[in-house]
Amino acid sequence: MKILNVAEKNDAAKNLAGYLSGGNLRRAYLSVACPYLEFGVYKLQIDRPIFKILYFYSQRDGFSRYNKIYDFDCTVFGQRCQMIMTSVSGHLLNLEFVGNYKNWRGCSPMALFDAPVSKFCPQDYQQIKRTLEREVRQCGVLIIWTDCDREGENIGFEIIQVCSAVKNNLRIYRAKFSEITAQSARRALQNLSQPNINISNAVDVRQELDLRIGAAFTRFQTLRLQQVFPQKLADSLISYGSCQFPTLGFVVERFNAVKNFISEQFWKIKVTHTVDDLSVDFRWKRVHLFDELSCQVLFDKCMEQPRAKVENVQSKPKSKWRPLPLDTVEMEKLGSRKLRINAKEVMRVAEKLYTQGLISYPRTETNIFPKELNLRPLIEQQAQDSNWGEFANRVLQEGPNPRVGKKSDQAHPPIHPTKYTNSLQGK
């Protein structure tokens, strides 16, 4: 039986093929120990010939040079199957308006809220589509290996739509995983499920709303303002997006606040007490004054008898909590604050690490590690590192005991390393 497997990106397809095939060689070969082995004049007879078949994947080109095809054998559904693993490059299909509604002046912008829409494959993705159509013709089963989130589920149904148009009697399955490792890939293959149409439909609704709202307001603004300012905006596009406009509002609001801020000088009294090498700054209850003379009078009064008397001492314990397990938003904040990388770049790097099998899925709202996730072997891998190995060993000695958060998306664990490497470069 031949099975078509489709991942979301080529890196993911390559790594999944390597793990499921049991090796990283690019050819399959047969190893046979013959009954007679000759060494010069000596002949050794073996009573039982030894036959050994090693299965690895082979790589070939698809119509798209960026999306390779990996062939290998693997046991699925209790039988040996020929696996064909390939990939898309994110969303394969886009939404567009039908007929005359595509024409900016063909209808009123208001009509776009009710205009018919359809999905189409952009020109840049036609070669990927051709590869899927060619490969699925010889297969009876389709397994979706896209990322296990809403967008991934929707991309999976786009793949299903393209493949089912060629072969309508396909058996279709969904592989669910949170990391691209050998153990996770094999577990996903052993626990195949059905794709979730409700999750995919939720993405379709969001895409359709974005298209209708964005196109209607963009056309309205552009056509209207070009009439008002024909010289300045004759060839300009004034776009609108349901996310970009609120964000632009925050930016403008902050800009106006900074622009309209009027700075004023202020004065304050600062008291510092030093004993040996320890210095303590005391805060003034009045914080500061905008009148220099008043502040000077109070300062002079203090300096008449420059002595202080401790009237009361209050103390209370302060706890410094360990960080919560890492979710997507916190990862973006830390990347921006600690590494000076913007949020978009943080996600790009994290997704690259994920497809290489080095970290778990980076899009998650969960900050609670599931009880069944054994963290000790993961930490033991990191104990060999020259930079953070000492810290990893300390965690092992005290026992992996992560702090428990309050959020779970019921899909993916918090972001964590899944494999050790010392060959990372750049960001």
For 55, 141, 268, 304, 417, the CA distances from 79, given in Å and listed in that order, are 15, 13, 81, 95, 33
Closest Cα partner for 7 from 126, 118, 88, 94? 88
Instruction: Quote the Cα angle for 173-175-177, to 5°.
Output: 165
Across 96-108, average pLDDT: 91
CA dihedral sign, ordered 133, 134, 140, 146: negative
CA dihedral sign, ordered 391, 396, 401, 407: positive
pLDDT mean across residues, the chain? 89
What pLDDT shows up at residue 234? 83
Q: Determine the Cα–Cα distance for residues 70 and 26; give it in Å rounded to an integer.
A: 9
pTM confidence score:
0.75
- When pLDDT is cut at 50, 70 and 90, the band that residue 244 belongs to is confident
First to last CA, the chain: 43
For 13, 95, 99, 214, 245, the CA distances from 104, given in Å and listed in that order, are 40, 16, 11, 13, 21
Residue tagged active-site, from 125, 173, 361, 420: 361
* Residue 42 in this model has a pLDDT that exceeds 70: no
* Residue 49 in this model has a pLDDT that exceeds 80: no
What pLDDT shows up at residue 56? 60
Query: How does pLDDT run across 312-369, given as a tens digit for each residue?
Result: 888 999 999 989 999 999 999 999 999 999 999 999 999 999 998 999 999 999 999 9
Across 218-229, average pLDDT: 92
Across 91-95, average pLDDT: 95
Element (H, E) at 132: helix 126-136
Across 43-47, average pLDDT: 46
Q: Determine the Cα–Cα distance for residues 160 and 151; give it in Å rounded to an integer.
A: 14
What pLDDT shows up at residue 382? 94
Across 9-31, average pLDDT: 73
* Residue 176 in this model has a pLDDT that exceeds 80: yes
Q: Determine the Cα–Cα distance for residues 289 and 120; give it in Å rounded to an integer.
A: 66
* Residue 252 in this model has a pLDDT that exceeds 90: yes
Q: Determine the Cα–Cα distance for residues 345 and 351; give it in Å rounded to an integer.
A: 10
Is position 361 annotated as part of the catalytic site?
yes
- When pLDDT is cut at 50, 70 and 90, the band that residue 23 belongs to is low
What pLDDT shows up at residue 51? 44
What pLDDT shows up at residue 43? 44
* Residue 34 in this model has a pLDDT that exceeds 70: no
Query: How does pLDDT run across 275-317, given as a tens digit for each residue?
Result: 888 998 988 989 999 999 999 999 999 899 888 888 888 899 9
What pLDDT shows up at residue 38? 44
* Residue 33 in this model has a pLDDT that exceeds 90: no
What pLDDT shows up at residue 205? 96
What pLDDT shows up at residue 399? 86
* Residue 39 in this model has a pLDDT that exceeds 60: no
Mean pLDDT comparison of 23-32, 42-51, 79-88, highest-scoring range: 79-88
